[in-house]
Chain A
């Protein structure tokens, strides 16, 4: 806090100007920061293709975004605030799985659909545009949980797996995760009634759940940020991030019910009880190189919840890694320090796991967005 704090009209005007410019930038970036093609679509779900900057030097990569937020968190803004750009700059063709906003008809969408239907279909599209074979997969938050399930169900289809703040063990008892777990207890959280009444779980309601553990901090967030608005760069980042943060999407009712009952309540993934279409899916089926990115002050996915993945996979010890970052759930992944702290480590990991040694994929993928006719079973 400054020693003296006086009202400076010029300073306040600069802050207001930066705030307005930040809001305009946020509006401009609603469709993502990087030009891309929509190469596949099924209902609200889309596969977005980002061409590498320059010739493709590595195999394609599938980036799986969370189901409770917009996909653009991985492509928030240019100039270092886009994970996608960090990857495409290294010559990687990036494909982003965008789950979209579910309509009433999508209320039955469950983890089976994500893992057994959508991701395999996306991989078929990627293979049709490049060369057939396993792909690198990066999953963020619950998108990471879906990626983990995909890698466990189809180990032969994933070459390397990176999880960014991905909860795997929901019963580590770490701060806020334990609170969230307590809140959704069957004694008082009527998840069946909620999803039956609303169809899809309202995104706003889910968002409240993440804000309530720290209500004072959440309420004062804007007031605390205001003094920093004289820095135009901060104002831009804050506005863009908040525009994404406030733009919550509904979660399909069936997927939300499954998330609460089998993951938060009974921790089925770690307890080896998680089933997809009655087939048991266990983490020890994963044999590919795994990098788990954890953040020390993440309250949504505490480090232990994400680190647990490394303890349960069958990957050789020298190919299992944790990248421990400081900070919370979002800023270390998409903030301005990510290009220095996260991107080089990700690229090094993907290179170590064979990314550079394999034959590069064609730099000009086929124009067809449809999956190949030789359908592989999901």
Chain B
């Protein structure tokens, strides 16, 4: 782009900056409005619905072919997670329990 006249260029730059500032202000103002945020939330909700439907369709396809699906894997993860949590709780209990004094082993009588 060629701007032969400095005055024209200055005018253009200032207008662009003003326009940009106006758009930024407008945006900032609207981004706090409950209506806008609610609309954005609805959009995210719609995205979730699409993904849920896609997941369900995939799930049904896999199930139709008697193949392990993502749902089966999820159940497996859940079980593993529960097991892990159980171990973690036991570890916490061990850590919190007072140290028992070590007693010498009693000889076992025949």
Contacts and interface: CB of A to CB of B under 8 A. Distances in A.
Interface of A: 1, 3-7, 104-105, 107-108, 112, 116, 179, 182-183, 185, 187-190, 193-194, 196-198, 212-217, 220, 277, 279, 377-378
A197 B55 contact: yes
Given A116-B88, A188-B41, A377-B95, A198 B77 contact: no
A213 B44 contact: no
Contacts of B23: 216
A116 B31 CA distance: 38
Given A104-B70, A189-B41, 16 more contacts: A4-B3, A4-B6, A5-B9, A6-B2, A104-B73, A105-B77, A112-B88, A183-B40, A185-B37, A188-B34, A194-B44, A197-B51, A197-B52, A198-B48, A215-B27, A277-B92
B60 to A, nearest CB: 16
B74 to A, nearest CB: 8
Listed from nearest, the 3 A-B pairs whose CB atoms lie closest are A188-B41, A197-B51, A197-B48
Contacts of B91: 377-378
11 contacts: A4-B4, A4-B9, A5-B1, A182-B37, A188-B37, A188-B40, A194-B48, A216-B20, A216-B23, A216-B27, A378-B91
A179 B88 contact: no
Nearest to A195: B48
B45 interface: yes
A5 B3 contact: yes
B57 interface: no
A214 B28 CA distance: 8
Interface residues of B, number: 37
B25 to A, nearest CB: 10
B27 A190 contact: no
Nearest to B21: A216
Contacts of B94: 377
B68 to A, nearest CB: 13
Given A277-B92, A377-B91, A190 B9 contact: no
A220 B70 CA distance: 41
A198 B1 CA distance: 46
B89 interface: yes
Contacts of B106: none
B39 to A, nearest CB: 8
Contacts of B9: 1, 4-5
Contacts of A183: 31, 37, 40
Interface in B74-88: 77, 81, 88
Contacts of A4: 3-4, 6, 9
Nearest to B88: A277
Nearest to B14: A1
Contacts of A190: 41, 44-45, 48
A198 B51 contact: yes
B100 interface: no
Contacts of B4: 4
